[in-house]
Structure 1
Amino acid sequence: MNKKYWVLWVVGFLCIPFACVEQISFPLDRQEEKLIVFGQISNLQEEKYIFLSSTTSQDRQPLSSGDYLVLNDLPRPVTNAQVSLVGSDNSTFLFTHQSDGRYDLSRNVPILDGVSYFVEIQVNGKTYRSSPEEIPEAVGSDELSYDFGRGELDGIPGLALISIYSDVELPETSEPYYLRWEVEEAYFWQLTFFPNPFNQGPPPCYVFEFPDSERIPLLSGESLRGGVEGGRQLLATRQVDQSFLSRHYFTVRQISMSKSAFDYWRNVRDLVNNTGSVFDTPPAPIQGNIVNVNDPDEVVLGYVEVAKVAQKRIYTTLADVPFELEEVCTYQPGKPAIEYPQTCRNCNAFRNSSTQTPEWWFDQ
């Protein structure tokens, strides 16, 4: 029997400038490396992205880490691929490799209604393609709100929490539609201002995360009427901490997608929420929409979705928070800098951060 292990793959937790993707775990065998593909082509005027990585295998070579060789089971970025977006109108656009297996397409590339698109990947002498999809015709809208309160999270009771809700208005269409919600967060983190001869303050620091990555809200409109309210949806819950000392944004993306994409994400949700009882379906790799054009039997993980997205943001400030929050990075005379947390001294201490202010930060 092949040895099983849990692998973090990209749907991983990675961020392009001010947009992130979630972290999902799947069990796989170690017999051979498998390509992992994840991306979204949407109507929004933003960079489109494809993430490429590969799973571990018995033949994986260790990496050099200083004076040591390291071998782990984490996916490794694929950096030697050529990635293209191909449209049924004979258009072709090349992605540019940025870093860590991330390939970007300019925000200026138009994604047109009525045109089907697929992604083609050429790597190591193989060609992979996603199934062609068109942007859906309709998407609904969200009226966002939040509540503070105390409750249980990850089995810990009595925590200070914030919950993000949407009063959903469904798409105005008689055709079937399939919706998914993503919630990203971004907050300003105040680094410690250490006195210096130039009286120069620290750079701004913006941190990007997913507040509730295992929650995958889905809604199928096959049996619902369009143009009506879809009820109140709980989209995310997270613990209130020092990140709420400054402005803290939640970005909600309502994603209208194909039935195939909906089925994929429903399977992901079922796997993530598997309780482990004897009646549960055993965990297994989930079939996506990418194939090796010369070897259809090769297992390729992930999904490239073509989606219509409606995006809204809501934010809190310290004045909104009903809990007392202790300042952690305030300068204290006589306290050596090394005794301050690393996150107070360097924005790069956060896994996904930037010193560049998002262009939308002061829009609201």
Structure 2
Amino acid sequence: MAGQITLSKNRSSWLLVVLISMLIGSCVEKIEFPLNKGLAKLVVSGQVSNLQENRFVFLSETTSKDRKPVFSGNYYVLNDLPNPVSEAELTLVGEDGSQSNFTEIEPGKYQLEASVEILNGVAYYLDIVVQGERYQSIPESLPEQVGEDELSYTFSRDIIQDQPETAFISIHTTTTLPSQKGGYYFRWDVDEVYYWDLTFFPNPFNQPPPDCYVFGFPDPQRISLLNGDLINSPGGKSTQLVAERILDDSFLSRHYFNVRLTSLNKSAFEYWRKVRELVNNSGSVFDTPPAPIYGNIQNVNRPDEVVLGNFEIARVSQKRIYTTRADVPFFEEEVCTYDPQRPYEDYPKTCLRCSEFPSSTNATPHWWFDQ
């Protein structure tokens, strides 16, 4: 079975930042739903998997009535975005005696190096020391089971995101399930990376603009889950729709979709199931849920403190699929093509500098030409 959560913004909402996947150099998806306002609460969001990649934990604090104004660049404003929590000490502790420290690389973003190996059969927990308080996650080991994905896509024109007659792509996966009856729990996470053609202005050296790769999430509010306890077909197939994405000029070049099949412990699966259940049972996405959803983090000395978010020990299998301009059956206008009659200032800023995208790089991902 698969589930989707589509949640709305409103002026009284707070962001519960939940880590869906670390994906390529690791981005974060944000799922939004209202919470009762009150004192600031710590939000912990992170995942450590079997993959040899940098792992990340994000710490933030929900908005409280005494929050200081934020400078917007022109004036000070008040909003409901969580505050990053800096200067914390984070350690991944293994019950085999191992300890690996995280390093803060941005405000509230803590990195564990890819060289740290996560061993089978060893339970790990996250230890956090911040502002004189100690928090710990429940010890968990890597799940044993993971399925095998086969990816495909389809193009359509229909109603999507309340927009009629809109062209979009759907990403599907057909998963070969473990050869056991029950005892496994899956979530699918999808990110995207595409090549962006900057405007090539004529120059004496015929020097092209630098490469530009843009990272993002095609369908950030979708959560797809499968409970293996409800499947009575060991080794069978399960088909999921894991993402839908409106077509735009990002499809004029190679456009990758990276799909991570994440095998969760039952406690992590229950966390996501409760999120879905709470939203579905609230009657409306604008209703305030009756209580926050508890994850697996608690204050060691004050266990009654409400701590939001969840920290996962997960086994991950990743597959990629891409489209090119020739695959897209719909017309997309080129916005960055050079025109000698077009004034420089008329080009969108994203045609001039890759850095105009919130998450981008000039470095080619190491796997870009593997397929």
- My pick for the range that moved more, 9-18 or 199-208, is 9-18
Q: Which residue of 2 aligns with 1:102?
A: 109
The answer to whether structure 1 residue 334 and structure 2 residue 341 are counterparts is yes
What is the alpha-carbon distance in structure 2 between the residues aligned to residue 271 and residue 210 of structure 1? 24
Deviation digits for residues 57-85 of structure 1, max 9, x if unmatched? 11112234556433322112112111110
Determine if the alignment matches structure 1 residue 286 to structure 2 residue 302: no
SS in structure 2 at match of 1:5: coil
1:55 aligns with 2:39: no
- SS of the equivalent of 1:270 reads helix
For the Cα contact (< 8 Å) 2:191–2:258, is it kept in 1?
yes
State which drifts further: 337-346 or 300-309.
337-346
Q: Aligned match of 1:5 in 5, 12, 16? A: 12
Task: After TM superposition, give the deviation of residue 253 of structure 1 in Å.
Answer: 0.6
Match of 2:303 in 1: 296
Task: Report the AA paired with residue 140 of structure 1.
Answer: G
Indicate conservation of the 8 Å contact 1:138/1:173, yes or no: no
Which one of 231, 235, 239 corresponds to residue 232 of structure 1? 239
AA partner of residue 16 (structure 2): W
In 1, Cα distance between equivalents of 2:176 and 2:117: 27
The residue type paired with residue 188 of structure 2 is: W
Is the aligned partner of 1:252 residue 2:259? yes
Letter in 1 for 2:65: Q
Give the TM-score of the pair, scaled to structure 2: 0.91
User: 2:99 aligned to 92, 97, 103, which one?
Assistant: 92
Give the corresponding residue for 1:307.
Answer: 314
Kindly provide the amino acid, as one letter, of the partner of residue 352 in structure 1: S
List gaps (5 residues or longer) in structure 2.
Answer: 1-10
Q: 1:112 to 1:12 in 2, by over 3 A?
A: closer
Please give the alpha-carbon distance, in whole angstroms, between the structure 1 residues aligned to 2:274 and 2:314. 18
Give the structure 1 partner of residue 364 of structure 2: 357
1:139-192 CA distance string (max 9 Å, x none):
001111111111211122211111111111112234511111111111111111
1:21 lines up with 2:28 in the alignment: yes
In structure 1, the gaps of 5 or more residues are none
Indicate yes or no: 2:180 matched with 1:166: no
1:317 aligns with 2:312: no
TM-score, normalised to structure 1, is 0.93
Deviation at 1:271, TM superposition (A): 4.5
CA contact (8 A) 1:27 1:283 kept: no
Residues in 1 aligned to 2:249 and 2:99: alpha-carbon distance in whole angstroms: 46
For residues 271 and 196 of structure 1, the distance between their equivalents in structure 2, rounded to whole angstroms, comes to 58
Is this contact kept in 2: 1:19–1:184, CA < 8 A?
no
The alignment partner of 1:133 has SS state of: coil
Contact map agreement 2:20 2:189 (CA 8 A) in 1: no
CA contact (8 A) 2:182 2:230 kept: no
- Assess, with a 3 A threshold, how the Cα gap between structure 1 residues 115 and 226 changes in structure 2: closer, same or farther: farther
Please state which structure has a larger fraction of its residues in strand.
1
Which of residues 115, 132, 139 is equivalent to 2:139? Answer: 132
Find the counterpart in structure 1 of residue 5 from structure 2. none
User: What one-letter code is carried by the residue in structure 1 that aligns with 2:333?
Assistant: E
Q: Give the direction of change, closer, same or farther, for the CA distance of 1:244–1:131 in structure 2 (3 Å limit).
A: same
How many residues align structurally?
Answer: 360
Letter in 2 for 1:351: P
The letter for the 2-side match of 1:255 is: T
Q: By how many angstroms is 1:13 displaced?
A: 9.3
Where 1:213 maps in the other structure, the secondary structure is coil
1:38 is the counterpart of 2:45: yes
- Return closer, same or farther for 1:48/1:344 CA change in 2, 3 Å cut-off: same
Q: Structure 1 residues 258, 212: CA separation in 2 closer, same or farther (over 3 Å shift)?
A: same
- Distance apart, 1:223 and its partner CA: 3.4
The CA distance in 1 between the partners of 2:22 and 2:121, in whole Å, is 29
CA distance in 1, matches of 2:195, 2:325: 12
- Tell me whether 1:204 sits opposite 2:211 in the alignment: yes
Which shows bigger deviation, 344-353 or 142-151? 344-353
Bigger mean CA offset, 11-20 vs 174-183: 11-20
- C-alpha distance in structure 2 between counterparts of 1:14 and 1:171, whole Å: 22
How far 1:287 sits from its partner (Å)? 0.8
Give the 3-state SS of the residue equivalent to 1:269 in structure 2. Answer: helix
Report % sequence identity: 56
Distance 2:74 2:276 in 1: 41
User: SS in structure 2 opposite 1:19?
Assistant: coil
CA pair 224-64 structure 1, distance change in 2 beyond 3 A: closer
Asked whether the 8 Å contact 2:91–2:102 carries over to 1, the reply is yes
Q: 1:145 aligned to 152, 160, 164, which one? A: 152
1:277 CA drift (Å): 4.7
Question: Cα RMSD over matched residues?
Answer: 2.2
